[in-house]
Every structure is written in structure tokens, then in C-alpha cells.
């Protein structure tokens, strides 16, 4: 006789399975109706807003994309771990928030600092010189750790009076590059420098304004005048004075504070040379190709008062007149020279840029030339009437490839 209890048990199990299946089907139908992604995605993707950060106060935005975290019709959340290369740091968790419902894109922010603090928003992560902060996402499906890194270092400030000579009654333009002074990425920041002259050794403060959001470049202008010094506006000077600007840089990795500075000479109005040199460059006398990295640069420039230096680079960024990489030459109104140069390795087009300057600090427009490096010898093969490497004949037509 059949055991009724066992029969009821089997029927109950089957009923539970059917109800569970129907419940899952209903959930899927609801998710489809709401437009929620139901297909399991691959490994999540991480990206950071920058690859290098300064040590204190730099903002890094994290973007995480993973459809598996999109589990509801509202904005969902995920978690990443922030791990500093500082010895003994075990990392802290950061909650990432979906930027829009069903977008599968999650955002989070942290700031570099001298110590880690996860109890404030945005969280702070300790950064050390020549270190790394790792952002780690532990993906559940498929099981994998996804990591993105930002290196941390101390950026030295660069301060420059854009002309070596300033006319009395004229203006001195001051530029500063210091990413660490960029306290916020949301607006243009300001930086203060000290300006003094031989006449006014105490000087005054000049406020520089960042050229845009998160650029780290600052500009300001101050009048050079025989009138009394006025804060952020004017520095009292006389012909023959030296104008000095200085900036207190942030502490370096050892906690030391450095002062960067630059100078310009005050001259009579109307005596400033404002004409920049004009110059050119040719690589190997204008050749299109070279089979070796060793080339000769044909440099040429003219200036009404005298060319005093040239600056070579593989980058198109114009240097300041005070950059340490200028090559000095004997002052001449007509300069020409053949200079040996080694191209970077790797076949392909190579472009070099050159600038010339004069004694007044005027920098020429960019001159450039390109050449294609080709170190690979051609290969020749016989395709007809034989694929062999050699073929002897006195009458056949040979096809080469």
C-alpha cells in the first residue's frame, strides 16, 4: 500500500518548486516591464579622473560601470576599496552611487590628504610621495578584482615673470604653475605671491587667478610704477631696479617648505625689445625618411638684437624664457648651426619643435619639422614561376612581391 505521507510530501515539494518558479517568472516580468537590465554583465570596469595626484587636497573621481549592480529601478549603490601604498594601510570602503536609475554607472570621490579619514565626505586617503592609491572593485559575477591606480607625488611649483625686462610705467605679468594650489576642481582657484623691488624691499601681495577649473596654472598682472606700492595693484620701482616675485610652495615629502622665485629688470620706457626672433628647423636638410635614429638638425634664426638661445623638444608646448632646458649660444643677429640629435626609438613619423629667444627674453613662434624613421629593410620574394628564393632563367618572366 502506498505511503500517503510520502505522497503528500512529494506533492508538497513539487508545489513549492512550482510556486518558486512562478515567483521568479513574475519578478522577471516586473523587471522587464520597468526596463531594468536583467542580463548579467561581464567584469566591471573602473576608471579614474586622473592618473597622477598631488599629496594633499587633490580630488579624484571614480567611475565604475557594472550592470550587475543595477538591481532596482532606483539609483543603486556599489562599493570599492581605497588602498594607499603607505605602509600598514589596509584600505577603506567607499560607497559608489549610480548616477541615474538603470544607468549601471556608479560615481564616487575621494581626496588625497596627510592622513586617512573615512568619516567625512568626500573621504580622505593618505598620500605619500612617489606612492600609489589603488581603487579595487571586487566583482561578484564573474568573481574578479578590478583595480585602477593613481600615483601620488609632490609637484614643484614653477614661477615666472613672463619678460626679463619691464618698463617703468608698464606691467609685469606673473605666471605660476602649481597643481597643489588647485584646491578645488569645481572653480578657478587663486594663489598669492609676493612682489618686491629694489626700491621697495618689503613689497606687496599679488593675487593670481587660475586660468580655468582644475588647470593648476595661475596668472596675474602688477603695475611697475614710481608711485607708492598698492596691494595687489602696484609695486613702487625705479629704473635699474630688480623686480622679484616669490611663492611659498607646499611642503614636500619630507615636510620641507620651499620658496620659488623669478626676477626682471626695470628699464626706461621705450627701450624694451619686444620683437621676438624668427627661426626654422630642418631635419637632415629636409629629408622625408631616415633609416637611423641619428640625425642632424639644421637650425637657423634671426633677431634684431641677437639670438641668445634655442630650445628643442618633441612636445609642442611653448617653453618660458626662464626654462632650464634652453641651450645658450653667443648672441648674434643671424644664427645658424647643424646640431646632432638622436630620435626616439620606434619606426614612424617623428616631429621636433624648436624655439629661439633673445636677450630680452622674447621667445619666437614655434618652428617644426618631421621625418619618418624606417629601420626595417624591405623583403622581396618570387611568386612566379617558382616560390623558391632563387630562380635562374634566360627567357622567363619573373613576378616579384
Q: Which residues pair with 311 in a beta bridge?
A: 355
In a domain, 379, yes or no: no
Closest CA to 72 of 102, 106, 32, 110: 102
3-state DSSP assignment of residue 99: coil
Q: What is the DSSP string of 13-55?
A: HHHHHHHHHHHHHHHHHHHHHHT---S---S-EEEES-SEE-S
In a domain, 69, yes or no: yes
Closest CA to 342 of 292, 300, 388, 298: 292
Residue with cell 620606434: 346
109 shares its domain with 58 = yes
Query: How much is the pLDDT for 391?
Result: 67
Phi then psi for residue 190, to 5 deg, are -125, 155
**Residue pLDDT tens, the chain, 401 long:** 445 555 555 555 555 454 554 544 454 444 444 444 444 456 789 999 888 888 777 889 999 999 888 888 888 999 999 998 875 557 899 999 999 988 999 999 999 888 888 899 899 998 888 889 999 999 887 888 899 999 988 777 889 998 888 999 999 999 998 887 877 777 888 999 999 999 999 999 999 999 988 788 899 999 999 999 999 999 999 999 999 999 998 665 455 678 889 999 999 887 777 789 999 999 999 999 999 999 999 999 999 889 999 999 999 999 988 888 999 999 999 999 999 999 999 999 999 999 999 988 889 999 999 999 999 888 877 777 767 667 677 666 766 66
Cα 268 versus chain centre, distance: 41
Tell me how many domains the chain contains: 4
In a domain, 240, yes or no: yes
Domain boundary among 152, 180, 213: 152
Provide the residue count of the chain. 401
In a domain, 401, yes or no: no
Phi then psi for residue 283, to 5 deg, are -100, 120
What global pTM score does this model have?
0.48
185 shares its domain with 239 = yes
Cα 27 versus chain centre, distance: 47
Query: How much is the pLDDT for 148?
Result: 92
193: domain CATH number is: 2.60.40.1930
164 shares its domain with 85 = no
Domain boundary among 234, 267, 300: 267
Phi then psi for residue 26, to 5 deg, are -60, -40
Closest CA to 127 of 111, 136, 114: 114
In a domain, 382, yes or no: no
198 shares its domain with 216 = yes
Rounded distance, CA 134 to CA 147, Å?
Answer: 7
Rounded distance, CA 261 to CA 388, Å?
Answer: 71
**What is the domain extent for residue 288?**
278-373
Contact between 243 and 264 (Cβ < 8 Å):
yes
Contact between 329 and 301 (Cβ < 8 Å):
no
In a domain, 378, yes or no: no
218 shares its domain with 283 = no
Query: How much is the pLDDT for 327?
Result: 95
Query: How much is the pLDDT for 252?
Result: 54
Amino acid at each position: 500500500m502506498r505511503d500517503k505521507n510520502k505522497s503528500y510530501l512529494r506533492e508538497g515539494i513539487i508545489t513549492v518548486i512550482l510556486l518558486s518558479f512562478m515567483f521568479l517568472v513574475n519578478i522577471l516580468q516586473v523587471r522587464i516591464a520597468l526596463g531594468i537590465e536583467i542580463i548579467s554583465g561581464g567584469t566591471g570596469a573602473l576608471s579614474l579622473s586622473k592618473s597622477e595626484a598631488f599629496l594633499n587636497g587633490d580630488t579624484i573621481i571614480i567611475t565604475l560601470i557594472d550592470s550587475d549592480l543595477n538591481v532596482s529601478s532606483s539609483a543603486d549603490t556599489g562599493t570599492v576599496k581605497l588602498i594607499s601604498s603607505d605602509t600598514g594601510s589596509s584600505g577603506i570602503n567607499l560607497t559608489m552611487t549610480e548616477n541615474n536609475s538603470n544607468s549601471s554607472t556608479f560615481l564616487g570621490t575621494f581626496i588625497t590628504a596627510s592622513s586617512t579619514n573615512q568619516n567625512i565626505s568626500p573621504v580622505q586617503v593618505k598620500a605619500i610621495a612617489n606612492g600609489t592609491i589603488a581603487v579595487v572593485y571586487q566583482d561578484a559575477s564573474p568573481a574578479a578584482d578590478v583595480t585602477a591606480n593613481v600615483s601620488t607625488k609632490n609637484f614643484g611649483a614653477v614661477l615666472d615673470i613672463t619678460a626679463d625686462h619691464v618698463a617703468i610705467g608698464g606691467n609685469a605679468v606673473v605666471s605660476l604653475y602649481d597643481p597643489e594650489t588647485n584646491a578645488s576642481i569645481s572653480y578657478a582657484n587663486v594663489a598669492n605671491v609676493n612682489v618686491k623691488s629694489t626700491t621697495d624691499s618689503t613689497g606687496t601681495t599679488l593675487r593670481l587667478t587660475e586660468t580655468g577649473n582644475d588647470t593648476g596654472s595661475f596668472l596675474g598682472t602688477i603695475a611697475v610704477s614710481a608711485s607708492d606700492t598698492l596691494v595687489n595693484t602696484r609695486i613702487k620701482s625705479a629704473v635699474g631696479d630688480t623686480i622679484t616675485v616669490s611663492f611659498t610652495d607646499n611642503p614636500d615629502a619630507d615636510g620641507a617648505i620651499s620658496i620659488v622665485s623669478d626676477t626682471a629688470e626695470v628699464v626706461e620706457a621705450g627701450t624694451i625689445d619686444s620683437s621676438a626672433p624668427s627661426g626654422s628647423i630642418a631635419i637632415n636638410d629636409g629629408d622625408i625618411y631616415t633609416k637611423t635614429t641619428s640625425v642632424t638638425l639644421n637650425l637657423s634664426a634671426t633677431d634684431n638684437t641677437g639670438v641668445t638661445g634655442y630650445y628643442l623638444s618633441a612636445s609642442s608646448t611653448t617653453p618660458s624664457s626662464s626654462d632650464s632646458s634652453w641651450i645658450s649660444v653667443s648672441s648674434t643677429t643671424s644664427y645658424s648651426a647643424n646640431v646632432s640629435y638622436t630620435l626616439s626609438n620606434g619606426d614612424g613619423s617623428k616631429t621636433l619643435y624648436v624655439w629661439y629667444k633673445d636677450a630680452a627674453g622674447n621667445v619666437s613662434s614655434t618652428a617644426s619639422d618631421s621625418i619618418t624613421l624606417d629601420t626595417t629593410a624591405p623583403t622581396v620574394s618570387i611568386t612566379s614561376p617558382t616560390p623558391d628564393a632563387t630562380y635562374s632563367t634566360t627567357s622567363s618572366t619573373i613576378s616579384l612581391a
